[in-house]
C-alpha cells in the first residue's frame, strides 16, 4: 500500500442555519479545502461523502455546488462515524493505487431535517427502540455506572463540559464560543439524570472536507505534507453480548489496531479529537484509547492532562460539546482539526510541537448498550 | 489486484410488505446467500450495505438479524446504483487484499418509508426540484424525444413492458407474475404522457445479498466459481451540460471501461440485467451498452434479440418493471440474477449456455436531465 497524505482541509461554519441547504454547507467546506490544497477542482478523481439524515446522492449534490463532475462518487453512512468512514474510503482508494487525488466530505443539516433531533420512532422489530433506549437514556445509565465503579462525580462530568467549552471559546468556527462554570453546567436543564443539557452535544448544521493524495502528488504542492499513518474502522458485537457498559471492546480493539499500524504508542500521541457526544463519554474514551490505565479516566481528567496546555489535549477544537455535532461532518472535521495542529496553524488553541495526532469517532444507533458500536481511528503525523 | 469470485447469492421475496422491517428483509437475503455459499456466518470479514430511504446503520441492523458482528461495516447510498456501489465496495476490499470474504447487501422497505414513493419536496436551492423535474417527468420528456428522433412509437415502449412482464411471469421471486398485452399497457393509467402506469417500475420492498471472496477461498467451496471480470462506477457531469437527453455519456463511458477491463466485447455478453425504471429507458440502455449501434435500440427490441430465447436476453428476471424496484436492492439483485444464469440455475428463464453476463445499474436524483447520472457495470463470467 502507498503512503497517503492530507493536503487540504476545510470546514463550513458550524451552527444552526435553517436557511442553508446541506449542499451549500458542503460546498463551502469543499471550496475551502480546495483553496487550502492549491489543487484544481478538476484534479479530484474520487469522492466519498457522508450524511446521516435525508441523504440523497450527497457527493453529487455537494460537488455540483462547486462544478465538479465526471468522477467516481460514493456516499456513505455510519451514524456519527460516517465522516470517518468517508475519510477511510478515500484513504483506501489512494493507498491501493486506484486514484491519486480524492476528497472526503462530511455534511449534516440537522436544522432543516424532518427527522434529525426528533425522537425517532422505532422500526418494526426494534426491541431496544420500543424499550426507550435513546442516546441520552443510554449515556445516563452509563454515567450512573461510572459513578458507582470509578468514583466519578457529576462535577467530573461537568468538568469535561467546562474544559471543552473553554477550548471552543478559542475556536472561531465553534458553534458556542462561550465559557461555562461547573455550577452553570450542573444547573442547566436535566435531560436524563445525571446528564444535564450542557453535558449534551447540540444539534448542529455544518460540513467538513479533506483532500487526500499520494505522497508523490503531495510533494508537488507542499514541502510538509501530513501523513495518514493509521486507519481503522470496525463494528463491534451487539449490546446484549456486552458484560460491562463502561467498556467498549470495539473501541479498545480499534485503538490497538491503529497504534500497531502507525508503529506508535499511546504516549506518542500529542493531541486527540474524539467523540464526546455526552460529557461523561469523553472519560471512557480516554480508557479505550489507552491514554490512561483502565478505570483511571477520571484521574486523567482531574490532572488537567487533557486540557489545552496539558500533556495530551483532548478536543482542543471544543469537541462535539462546544464546536457542535453535525453527525456525519464530525468524523471529517476531527481530521481537519488534527491537521491544523500538526501544521502549527491552530491559533490560540495550538498544541505546542504537535507531531502525531489522533482523530477518533464512534457511531451506532441500532445496537443498544454497546454505545458507539462502530469505531474509527485515524492517526496522522507530520 | 486479486481475482474475485461470487460464491453465494440470495434474495428476499419482492413485493409490498408493510409488516416487515428492512432489517428482516435484509436478514432473509443474507441467510439465503450464506446457505447458498456454504460458508459459516463468522467467516464474513467485511460488509457493505446499501439503502436509499430511512437508512440508519443498515449493515449493522441487517447483520444483527443473523447474529453477525465484530467486522468492518460500511453503509453506502447512490440512489438506484446503491446496491451496485455496495457490490463494488466489497469487490475492491477483496481484490486489494484487505479481506478474503465479504458480503454486499442491498435493501429497501419503500412501503414502510415515510419518504419513498411520495413526491419529495425540493431542498433549498434545488432549482430542478422546484421546476418539477421528477423521475416520470424526466422520462416522459425523454420518451417524446426518442419518438421524434428514432422512429420509436408508444407501442414500442409498451413492448418492453410486455417483454419484461413475460420474463417476470417465469420468475418465482417477481413482484408481478402476470403477463400483459400491448393494449393493456397502453390503456393503463397515464402517468406522464406518453408513460403509462405499466411502463413504470412499481414501489417495492425487498433485499438481495451476494457473498464475494478471493479465488483461493472460492475453490474450497465450489469447483465452478463465478468470476467478477469487470467493475466500474462513475458519476457523470451535470444535466445542463448534456446536449442530447437520449444519450448518457457516463453510461457509454462506464460500459467502455467495463468491456476493456473484462477483455471482452459487447457481442460476447450472453445476458444483461439492467435499470429499466421506465419502459422507454431500456431501449436507451441497449445503446449505452453498445448492444447495438447508436439510435438502433428500437430495431434491436423489435427483432426479439433481447427477449428470453433471443441473442442477448435483457432483464430475464423481469427487470425493475415486473420483478420490482426496491431501489438499493436492485444493484445487488441484478448480480444475483446474472450469477444464476452463469450457473445454469435460472429455471424457466435460463439463458442457454450463458458464459458471460452483465449487471448494470444507474442512479441519480439530483442532477436533472442527465438521467441516471451514476452508472455502474459489473461483468461476471464462469
> Strands A195-196, A190-192: parallel, antiparallel or unpaired by DSSP?
antiparallel
**Helical ranges in chain A per DSSP H:** 22-37, 58-65, 82-95, 127-130, 135-150, 154-169, 182-187, 215-221, 249-262, 279-288, 297-303, 319-323, 327-343
- CA A101, A255, A55, B143 dihedral sign is positive
DSSP E strands, B275-373? 356-363
- Please name the residue of chain B whose CA is at the shortest distance from the CA of residue A128: B61
Percent of chain A scored above 70 by pLDDT? 94
- pLDDT confidence of residue A171: 97
Residue B80 a catalytic site member: yes
- pLDDT confidence of residue A157: 98
Q: How confident is the model at residue A52 (pLDDT cuts 50, 70, 90)?
A: very high
Contact of B138 with B369, CB cutoff 8 Å: yes
In this structure, what is the dihedral angle of CA atoms B158, B146, B117, B201, given to the nearest 10 degrees? 30
pLDDT, tens digit (0-9, with 9 covering 90-100), for A168-185: 999 999 999 999 999 999
Using CB atoms, pick whichever of B57, B123, B363 lies closest to residue A365.
B57
> Strands A271-273, A356-363: parallel, antiparallel or unpaired by DSSP?
parallel
Using CB atoms, pick whichever of A23, A56, A237 lies closest to residue B70.
A237
Residues 6+ apart with CB under 8 A from A265: A259
pLDDT, tens digit (0-9, with 9 covering 90-100), for A12-22: 999 999 999 99
Closest-CA distance, B71 to chain A, in angstroms, reads: 5
Length of chain B equals 382
**Same CATH topology for A4-116+204-225 and A127-201+229-381?**
yes
Using CB atoms, pick whichever of B75, B92, B366 lies closest to residue A76.
B75
Given CATH 3.40.47.10, say whether it is the number of domain A4-116+204-225: yes
Residue A261 pLDDT > 50: yes
B123 chain-A contacts, CB cut-off 8 A? 21-23, 61, 112
pLDDT, tens digit (0-9, with 9 covering 90-100), for A191-239: 999 999 999 999 999 999 999 999 999 999 999 899 999 999 999 887 6
Residues 6+ apart with CB under 8 A from A183: none
Extents of the domains making up chain B: 4-112+204-228, 130-201+237-381
pLDDT, tens digit (0-9, with 9 covering 90-100), for A70-94: 999 999 999 999 999 999 999 999 9
Which of A165, A325, A341, A371 is an active site residue?
Answer: A325
What cell numbers appear for A333 in the block?
472535521
| Cβ distance of B57 and A366 shorter than 8 Å | yes
- pLDDT confidence of residue A242: 61
- pLDDT confidence of residue A369: 44
- pLDDT confidence of residue B115: 80
Contact of B99 with B216, CB cutoff 8 Å: no
d(CA A290, CA A265): 9
- Please name the residue of chain B whose CA is at the shortest distance from the CA of residue A125: B21
| Cβ distance of A236 and B124 shorter than 8 Å | no
CATH of B130-201+237-381, one of 3.40.47.10, 3.40.50.300, 3.30.300.30, 3.40.50.2300: 3.40.47.10
- pLDDT confidence of residue B281: 95
- pLDDT confidence of residue A138: 84
Residue A287 pLDDT > 90: yes
- pLDDT confidence of residue B131: 79
d(CA B71, CA A327): 22
- pLDDT confidence of residue B333: 98
Residue A80 a catalytic site member: yes
CATH superfamily of domain region A127-201+229-381: Thiolase/Chalcone synthase (3.40.47.10)
Which of B167, B325, B341, B360 is an active site residue?
Answer: B325
Residues 6+ apart with CB under 8 A from B38: B7, B8, B221, B222
B234 chain-A contacts, CB cut-off 8 A? 70-72
- pLDDT confidence of residue B310: 98
Considering the segment(s) B4-112+204-228 as one domain, its CATH architecture is 3-Layer(aba) Sandwich (3.40)
pLDDT, tens digit (0-9, with 9 covering 90-100), for A21-37: 999 999 999 999 999 99
Helix, strand, coil percent values for chain A (each to nearest 5): 40, 20, 40
Residues 6+ apart with CB under 8 A from A308: A166, A167, A170, A316, A349, A351
| Cβ distance of B235 and A124 shorter than 8 Å | no
Q: At what angle do helices A327-343 and A82-95 cross, to 10 degrees?
A: 60
Residues 6+ apart with CB under 8 A from B124: A19, A20, A21, A24, A112
- pLDDT confidence of residue A248: 83
- pLDDT confidence of residue B102: 98
Percent of chain A scored above 90 by pLDDT? 83
Closest-CA distance, A213 to chain B, in angstroms, reads: 18
- pLDDT confidence of residue B368: 44
| Cβ distance of A60 and B237 shorter than 8 Å | no
d(CA A224, CA A276): 30
- The complex scores an ipTM of 0.96
d(CA A266, CA A48): 29
- pLDDT confidence of residue B137: 87
- Residues lower than pLDDT 70 in chain B: 119-126, 239-243, 365-372
| Cβ distance of B60 and A126 shorter than 8 Å | no
Closest-CA distance, B84 to chain A, in angstroms, reads: 11
What cell numbers appear for A312 in the block?
495530551
Using CB atoms, pick whichever of B64, B125, B363 lies closest to residue A21.
B125
Amino acid at each position: 500500500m502507498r503512503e497517503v497524505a492530507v493536503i487540504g482541509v476545510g470546514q463550513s461554519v458550524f451552527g444552526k442555519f435553517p436557511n442553508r441547504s446541506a449542499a451549500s454547507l458542503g460546498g463551502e467546506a469543499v471550496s475551502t479545502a480546495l483553496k487550502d490544497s492549491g489543487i484544481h477542482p478538476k484534479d479530484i478523481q474520487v469522492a466519498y461523502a457522508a450524511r446521516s439524515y435525508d441523504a440523497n446522492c450527497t457527493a453529487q449534490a455537494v460537488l455540483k455546488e462547486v462544478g465538479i463532475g465526471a468522477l467516481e462518487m460514493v456516499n456513505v453512512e455510519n451514524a456519527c462515524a460516517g465522516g470517518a468512514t468517508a475519510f477511510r474510503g478515500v484513504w483506501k482508494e489512494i493507498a491501493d493505487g486506484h486514484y491519486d487525488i480524492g476528497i472526503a466530505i462530511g455534511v449534516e443539516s440537522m436544522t432543516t431535517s424532518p427527522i434529525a433531533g426528533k425522537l425517532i420512532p422505532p422500526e418494526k422489530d426494534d426491541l431496544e427502540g420500543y424499550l426507550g433506549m435513546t442516546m441520552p437514556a443510554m449515556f445516563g445509565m452509563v454515567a450512573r455506572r461510572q459513578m458507582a465503579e470509578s468514583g466519578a462525580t457529576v462535577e467530573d462530568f461537568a468538568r469535561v463540559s467546562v474544559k471543552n467549552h473553554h477550548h471552543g471559546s478559542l475556536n472561531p468556527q465553534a458553534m458556542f464560543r462561550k465559557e461555562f462554570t461547573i455550577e452553570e453546567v450542573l444547573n442547566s436543564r436535566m435531560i436524563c439524570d445525571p446528564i444535564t443539557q450542557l453535558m449534551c452535544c447540540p444539534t448542529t448544521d455544518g460540513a467538513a472536507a479533506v483532500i487526500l493524495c499520494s505522497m508523490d502528488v503531495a510533494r508537488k504542492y507542499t514541502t510538509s505534507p501530513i501523513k495518514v499513518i493509521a486507519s481503522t474502522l470496525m463494528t463491534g458485537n451487539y449490546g446484549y453480548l456486552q458484560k460491562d457498559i463502561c467498556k467498549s471492546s470495539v473501541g479498545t480493539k480499534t485503538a490497538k489496531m491503529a497504534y500497531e499500524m502507525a508503529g506508535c504508542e499511546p504516549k506518542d500521541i500529542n493531541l486527540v479529537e474524539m467523540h464526546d457526544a455526552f460529557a461523561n463519554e469523553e472519560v471512557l474514551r480516554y480508557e479505550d484509547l489507552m491514554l490512561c490505565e483502565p478505570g483511571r479516566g477520571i484521574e486523567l481528567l482531574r490532572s488537567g492532562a487533557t486540557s489545552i496546555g496539558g500533556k495530551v489535549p483532548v478536543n482542543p477544537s471544543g469537541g462535539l460539546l462546544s464546536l457542535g455535532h453535525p453527525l456525519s461532518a464530525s468524523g471529517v472535521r476531527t481530521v481537519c482539526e488534527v491537521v491544523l495542529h500538526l501544521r502549527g496553524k491552530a491559533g490560540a488553541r495550538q498544541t505546542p510541537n504537535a507531531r502525531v495526532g489522533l482523530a477518533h469517532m464512534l457511531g451506532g444507533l441500532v445496537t443498544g448498550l454497546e454505545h458507539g458500536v462502530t469505531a474509527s481511528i485515524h492517526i496522522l503525523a507530520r
